[in-house]
Amino acid sequence: MLPVLEAVPNFSAGRDPALLKELVRAAEGAGTEVLDASADADHNRSVLTLVGTPGEIEEAAVRLASLAVEAIDLRAQEGVHPRVGALDVFPVVPLSGVTEADATALARRIGRRFVEELSLPVFFYALASDPPGRGLGELRKGGFEALTRGEARRPDLVPREGPGRGGIHPSAGVSCVGARPLLLAWNVDVEGIDIAGLREVARGLRETDGGHEGLRALGLELERQGRMQLSMNLEDVRRRAPFEVFRALERTIEDRGGRIVRTEVIGMVPDELVLAAAADRLLLDDPRSDRLLAGRILSHAGERALRAAMEVVRAAEGEEEALPARLREALRELKLVCAGARNDTGESPSSRGGSP
């Protein structure tokens, strides 16, 4: 199967539309597909969602980090979102044809290139840290300013390499590079509750204070936009029940006399959230994922495309050396896709029916 990973780089700049366009162009120039790009002025943060092969993701990471170091100066940057770096976070997520171990190795390779090629120090986190499991919260406590003052929480949290005091890049700080499962990043806007009450709600929900497993939550006041917001991350969303978290939040907000007025998902919307929400709000009968029309159409189209790909591979057997380099590379990718499909189903090409 063709190896595909997701990367979700977070940048400490959300007030410059021109920079966001440059970041998208840099990622696309490395061969990745940008599925989503968003920015927020109060958070002063931009987020891209990329997909691609390991080589494409690695190249995109270096290009994006280089652009961030050049364009973002944390000494003149402020926002409500915690941050320690210009390219604050670069997580690598395995999607298909790769393992978590592969993603971890890629994240560590990316981190080494940041240090060696850009003099940008790195904290490894999640699966890529040693030992695995280091969280962003402990790395970003006190922000860029605490790092520049040398206020490290533990000696192992100080980057061992890089320019500047304590190994911190003087303007770009430190990049947190990690590997992790899929994560849901979402913000919920609330009315009828002040910031103190919203922060109490956040404390009651997040895992570190005895709430939902895998949930991180902050109560924020977005002064520029006149909004009160609960900003949340739910880790390993495929193992969680994100709509149950939403319902718990909704009940708590209503008990305090407030109401939810808007939900924003950063990046792509996971099926686990949407299907459960539809089943609850619409009282759907038999809300199985295999009854979703878009998914079934995609599956049907994929089966047809796979049969065509197998036919091309069979027709090109023995002729690879005569093909131009770009076609040889495309043929290798087709072979990976076909081999992965056969392994997934345990079927031979002919057993699928139609052309091989």
Q: Which residues are catalytic?
A: 81
Q: How far apart are CA 29 and CA 39, in angstroms?
A: 20
Q: How far apart are CA 275 and CA 22, in angstroms?
A: 35
Degrees to nearest 5, angle at CA 214 with 200 and 209: 35
Pairing of strands 33-40, 227-234: unpaired
CB atoms within 10 A of CB 79: 19
Query: Which amino acid, 252?
Result: T
**15's tokens:** 């007030």
Cis amide linkage into residue 131, ω under 30° from 0: yes
Degrees to nearest 5, angle at CA 197 with 193 and 201: 105
Polymer length of the chain = 356
Phi, psi of 266 (to 5 degrees): -85, 125
Q: How far apart are CA 222 and CA 327, in angstroms?
A: 51
Q: Mind giving me the DSSP string for 121-164?
A: -EEEEETTSSSTTB-HHHHHTTHHHHHHTT--SSGGGS-SSSSS
- What is the number of helices (H) and of strands (E) in the chain? 10, 11
Residue whose tokens read 């709430």: 211
Long-range contacts of 276-282 (CB under 8 A, 24+ apart): 276/241, 276/242, 276/243, 276/244, 277/243, 277/246, 280/243, 280/247
